[in-house]
Structure 1
Amino acid sequence: MGQGQKHRWVSGRMRDERAALYQGRVQGLAFHIESHQRLRGPYTAAGELLRQVVPMVMERWPEVVERHVVEILTMAPELRSVVPASRETLTSLAIPEERTRYYSRMRTMRLTNGVVDFLKKITVPERLGRLQVVFEHAGDCEVLDGEFLSTLLRRVHAEQMELTICTQGDAGQPLLQEALVRYAERVEAPVLAAKETCVNGQGEEILTLAERFVQSDGTSDRSEELTAYESLPERERQALHDRRADELTALGDTSWQYGAIPWHRERGSSALMAMEALRHALEYCINIGAYEATVDFGLRGRKWADWSDAHFAHMWAFTFKTTNALAALGRTEEAEAMSMDALASTDSVRVQTQVAYATAMLYTRHHANRDHETARQWIEKAISYAQTIEDEKMRAFRTVFYNNGLALIEMHVNRIEEALRLVTEGQQLLNRVLAPDEHLLHRSVLIHNKALILASMKRYEEALADFNRVIEIDPNYPEYHFDRGNLYNKMGRLEEAVENYTHAIEISPPFPEVYFNRAGAYSRLGMAEKALADYDYLLDIDPTHLDGRLNRATLFLEAGETALARQDAEEGLALDPTHAQLLCTLGLIEMAEGRLDAAQRALTAALEIDAGLLEAHVNLSVLLFECDDAQGAVDALNRAVQQHPEANVLYFNRAWALQSLGHWQEAVADYSKALELGCDEAEEIRARRETCLQALGTN
């Protein structure tokens, strides 16, 4: 965001005090949003904003809603009654027993950026125009709302959509706190005179105050209501929570089930209803990729359940889904510890089997220090357990599923042929044993994995056939189009790569990789303007994408826009001062602007970080040569040749420098080596070598 008007951050002890600062200010088309995570869990704030805005947009500009249907329905599931779900995938449609794929942790940022794009499209003069939105209790929002609000603050200018973010003090989410400090003007609400309320008496007055606290779903900031609530006998409090949970359930709004309803059930009179509510919320959250919330519900659920037969199904769900979420969040040590606790707590073969598989994935995918041999030992346990399953179909499915995990391990240790065998035989087994409509999701995963393996083996036509097949089966899964685009890119079929990247963009919430790769394809096609547009958007949704910043700086430099190139290089280096390629690019910018000493410092610094960076070697030698230091150029190229003995450009440049020093024989040898390695400047090299031979008197 530029230096224009800032958003507002209103902090104050009480809601009434905060409201006094914005009630008279917020006018026109305005929305008031409750953001406390206790209400609707993940996306309480984002979902409520969409519930208020989308119906009016759907009536007038349905095509805008359709473009963002995936993110809208994920954040506000109640809108399925208004917005058709037009982009279902095998992943989203899979029944619980067949759900074998979970989303990347990065998906939630894709969803956020998609909704921000939607809001930017509708807050233009020809549509809704400028909006004002007040987010109350934002300091108590859930992690994903913190991600959403911080992105909204950064990407949307206050002139287009003014945000008023209300907190009691500092924000609870670090991302939101950082964004508020940077993009909002903080105003402290004055303390209002306290209202006289007696809570020391008995009877109706105390009960009324306690009911208000429960009706607020625990979000009230009035101390007298909390005090009255806490003074009630436990059975009376439970009755209030039971009644409120029943009321919310009767409303039929889906998202209450992921916030207030489980909170009330935990404080109600039925332990079984508490476990059921927590498990339902847990299952939903892991399926949409809300992993922090999954962990929260899982840990809360484990306090109610145990490993007895009566509770086993709940306890295993709370444990297994929580470990999956912890792994996705990179909290792998916690995930493994919880899995080992499960092994020590029950002799269930099901638990032993799934823990073995999950632990194998920790060691081959998630742990910071991967140990593929340990992963192999665990996966072999899972495969062995699978052989004991009596049901033929389930035995086949589990065997293939775990062998697919083994194939991943084989890929990681570069046994690619073995990985291909495991996946291929798995496909064949499932096709023999299962009905055509059974386990469609995992069967599509196997086709996709086989395509990726074949692509890594450079068996491109076979890989393409499998990509085509899986896209036919699951056409709305964007990663398949993205991966097929990557394959076309490798095959040099750039127009088809762009076509696939574009289709992935059209059916998916935005993700940085597809814009980065399409920009690269555009650049190779000579479409610099389109490449720059993709890099611009990429860096809008992900300002920390260093390779995107590097590539845009390079395009700016090639276009002679050195000031813009410098801005990208310097902003990238502010994020990572040790990024050798950015330092090299900065050196080229300094050269283009005639700052030769600064250029030499930047190129030297790049090589100190990465001694094998070919571009830095080449450009440092060119710089030294242009500074009349031919011997320095030769010395630099001597070091470069040690790193890159097959790089023809190094021999060509060194020969040129040697020739200028009168070292004719050495220059001839380098020109000959450059010709041997092959290059585009063959005619010029022959002419220069001829000149050196004449100087030697050998021609």
Structure 2
Amino acid sequence: MSDSKSHLKARGAPPTRQRETASLLMPIIDGQRRPHGPYTVGSALLHHLVPVAMERSADLVAAHDLEIRAVAPGLRDRVPARRATIDADLPDDERILVPAPRRTLRLANGIAEFVRAVVPPGRTLVVCNGAEADPTDVELLDVLMRRIPPDVLTIVLYSGGPPVAPDSRDADELWTLVDHCMREGFLHAAAELGARGLTLTEPGGTQWWRFAQRTATALGGLGRVQEARDLWELVRRTSQDPAVHAAAAYGTAMLDARHPDPAQRDLGRARGWINQAIAISTLLPDPMGRAFKLGFDRNGLALVELRHGRLEAALELVESALELARELGERHPVHRMVLLANRAQLLAALGYAKEALADYGAAIAIDPAFPDYYLERGNLLLGMGEEEPALADYESAMRAGPPLPEAYYNRAELWIGRGDLDAALADLSRVIDLDPGYLDAYINRAGLLAGLERDEEARADVATGLALSPGNAYLLTVLGQLETAAGRLEEARAALDQAVEVGPALASAWGNRGVLRFEQGDVEGAVSDLTRAIDLDPQPDLFANRAVALRALGRLAEAAADERRTPQPS
């Protein structure tokens, strides 16, 4: 089940012997994902660089411990874990979190920064069998080529190479690798290797079930929903174990409840499957297993309620799951952490900020190395006006693991609120450097640049953003501002007309079109648009602009009323 769309593209011919001796960084790496699994290229590269780096700067290696240990497990005996989440030492049945697919991008960025700090300029990395590379290596090489200048590191990729050896690994070897892949979030490899493991194990047996559960979970995480659904159905047809059926029902429910496209979520079907999971879990004979699984399933039903907008019902379910978790003693700490954070999210949404902060604090205390809840608590604090604690949380999230674009994006929001636009621009640029597909970073950076009259830079961000999201109302609004400033009023009008059409709730689109209509002599239209903008978001500058338009129409009393709503310079 390899992803044929992720193949590497040839970037040059195989190197000549003269080039090898002159500038080759290391022996040619065979990118074939078998028999070494995900990060075949990344692991080989790190095995070459880490020993050299440790002699030069042990601190540099330590600063990238998590990335190195994930990408090159063979170096774990040489690179101690400085940052590690608690699930690293938990038994298999207590490790319930599966990293999101985007985690590999974070790892790739961390490795790129390590390589850039270590490699002397003028080196070359050569990879053969590129068409057989794992998606983790495809992504890593893309990040290396994007973030390391070619005069520092030239990367040559080509499809040819030694023939692919048949995979002779047995089920136990494959299980070890699948387990590693799921721990680290290497979902493509987990799906591919797990499917192979299923063919080597007795259907319905314990090891077969372990492969099936990991493979279906990986497929769901990759958005390959129908394949995951088919595998869960195969589980139901193969097994008569109640615990297996409960897990399969939960997994099937989550395919709908967590579908990345809201339009494709069938919450009624999800509810049916999760109710079946709860019904089975209620009957499990082991008290400890029953308490865990029932709480786990109720938390899943809470997600369905949340998707329906029934926050109180979701909160009641999460609280019942926390009650069950008290029966587990010291076991399943990750389960408790997730439940506490979920309750915090619901409490915050319901307006109980103080209680939500307490739950976030309790969740973070369980695993201070897990970054997600620092971000969530930071956002809550920022919304409460607690800027310094929010800043501390964002920076804790940055330190907790590989580069995290969301932490820099959120900190940029804080800088914008403080009026520190240089710091905001620096953080937004960092986000885009880490993830060139981060649309909101382009939107915010374009808006800031336009406000600073750095119009060409803003226009470049608008163009990139619109390529990612054609017809985006925010970007069209900035484009309208830029065209207005350039005196291209017809082009500005076209952009702003489209912006209000696709984003009728966006106050800035109406406000900017109001200003433009005033400049075009359509004063009545300007008042109409500015009134609509004020209805959506009554900001002082909108009242000031409407006051000017109202005066132009001779509606002096209304203009004076708007002027009273506008802060006067001191």
SS at match of 2:210: helix
Q: 1:490 offset after TM fit, Å?
A: 1.2
1:552-600 residue CA offsets vs partner (Å, 9 max, x unmatched): 1222222221221122112222333311111110111222333333322
Is 1:505 the counterpart of 2:378? The answer is no
- Name the structure 1 match of 2:50: 54
Distance 2:30 2:459 in 1: 43
Q: 1:645 offset after TM fit, Å?
A: 9.1
Cα 1:290/1:557, change in 2 over 3 Å: same
SS at match of 1:133: strand
Structure 2 unmatched ranges of 5 or more = 1-8
- Name the structure 1 match of 2:552: 660
Is 1:166 the counterpart of 2:58? The answer is no
Distance 2:449 2:507 in 1: 21
Opposite residue 316 of structure 1, the aligned amino acid is: W
Cα 1:592/1:25, change in 2 over 3 Å: farther
Is 1:220 the counterpart of 2:162? The answer is yes
Is 1:429 the counterpart of 2:324? The answer is yes
Cα 1:384/1:48, change in 2 over 3 Å: same
1:339-354 equivalences in 2 (<5 Å): 339-354=232-247
Is 1:473 the counterpart of 2:366? The answer is yes
Q: TM-score, normalised by structure 2?
A: 0.91
1:623 to 516, 528, 533: 516
2:60 to 47, 60, 64: 64
1:121-140 equivalences in 2 (<5 Å): 121-123=117-119, 128-140=120-132
Contact 2:250 2:297 in 1 (8 A): yes
Q: 1:320 offset after TM fit, Å?
A: 1.4
1:188-213 residue CA offsets vs partner (Å, 9 max, x unmatched): xxxxxxxxxxxxxxxxxxxxxxxxxx
Q: TM-score, normalised by structure 1?
A: 0.75
Give the length in aligned residue pairs: 560
Distance 1:283 1:22 in 2: 43
Q: 1:682 offset after TM fit, Å?
A: 8.0
- Name the structure 2 match of 1:89: 85
- Name the structure 2 match of 1:591: 484
SS at match of 1:337: helix
1:245-264 equivalences in 2 (<5 Å): 263-264=167-168
1:362-406 residue CA offsets vs partner (Å, 9 max, x unmatched): 121126411222212211111111122222111111111111111
- Name the structure 2 match of 1:256: none
Distance 2:24 2:533 in 1: 65
Q: 1:629 offset after TM fit, Å?
A: 3.1
Opposite residue 149 of structure 2, the aligned amino acid is: H
Cα 1:647/1:60, change in 2 over 3 Å: closer
1:509-520 equivalences in 2 (<5 Å): 509-520=402-413
1:184-199 equivalences in 2 (<5 Å): none
1:388-429 residue CA offsets vs partner (Å, 9 max, x unmatched): 222211111111111111121222222222222222232233
Distance 1:647 1:670 in 2: 15
SS at match of 1:344: helix
The structure with the largest alpha-carbon Rg is 1
Is 1:141 the counterpart of 2:30? The answer is no
- Name the structure 1 match of 2:308: 413
- Name the structure 2 match of 1:385: 280
Distance 2:266 2:106 in 1: 31
Opposite residue 661 of structure 1, the aligned amino acid is: L
Q: What is the aligned-residue RMSD (CA, Å)?
A: 2.6
1:210-252 residue CA offsets vs partner (Å, 9 max, x unmatched): xxxxxxxxx734xxxx9xxxxxxxxxxxxxxxxxxxxxxxxxx
SS at match of 2:258: helix
Cα 1:130/1:462, change in 2 over 3 Å: farther
- Name the structure 2 match of 1:151: 143
Cα 1:331/1:579, change in 2 over 3 Å: same
- Name the structure 2 match of 1:9: 11
1:284-363 equivalences in 2 (<5 Å): 284-307=180-203, 312-363=205-256
Opposite residue 380 of structure 1, the aligned amino acid is: N
1:123-147 residue CA offsets vs partner (Å, 9 max, x unmatched): 3xxxx44432222323321111111
Contact 1:410 1:418 in 2 (8 A): yes
Range with bigger deviation, 476-485 or 104-113: 476-485
1:443-493 residue CA offsets vs partner (Å, 9 max, x unmatched): 111112122222222211111112222222211111122222112111111
Distance 1:424 1:581 in 2: 39
Distance 1:473 1:285 in 2: 24
Distance 1:650 1:85 in 2: 54
Distance 1:346 1:426 in 2: 27
Cα 1:24/1:327, change in 2 over 3 Å: closer
Contact 1:113 1:510 in 2 (8 A): yes
Cα 1:47/1:606, change in 2 over 3 Å: same
Opposite residue 592 of structure 1, the aligned amino acid is: A
Opposite residue 83 of structure 1, the aligned amino acid is: V
Cα 1:627/1:366, change in 2 over 3 Å: closer
- Name the structure 2 match of 1:276: 172
Cα 1:679/1:33, change in 2 over 3 Å: farther
1:522-554 residue CA offsets vs partner (Å, 9 max, x unmatched): 111122111111111111121222211121122
Opposite residue 12 of structure 2, the aligned amino acid is: V
- Name the structure 2 match of 1:563: 456
Q: 1:358 offset after TM fit, Å?
A: 0.8
1:31-80 residue CA offsets vs partner (Å, 9 max, x unmatched): 54232111311000001101110121122212211221111100001111
Cα 1:646/1:492, change in 2 over 3 Å: closer
SS at match of 2:466: helix
- Name the structure 2 match of 1:397: 292
SS at match of 1:163: strand
Distance 1:400 1:291 in 2: 26
Cα 1:644/1:402, change in 2 over 3 Å: same
Distance 2:229 2:460 in 1: 44
Contact 2:50 2:61 in 1 (8 A): yes
- Name the structure 2 match of 1:198: none
Distance 2:12 2:83 in 1: 39
Opposite residue 378 of structure 1, the aligned amino acid is: W
Percent of pairs identical after alignment?
Answer: 35
Is 1:42 the counterpart of 2:38? The answer is yes
Cα 1:356/1:618, change in 2 over 3 Å: same
- Name the structure 2 match of 1:529: 422
Contact 2:540 2:566 in 1 (8 A): no
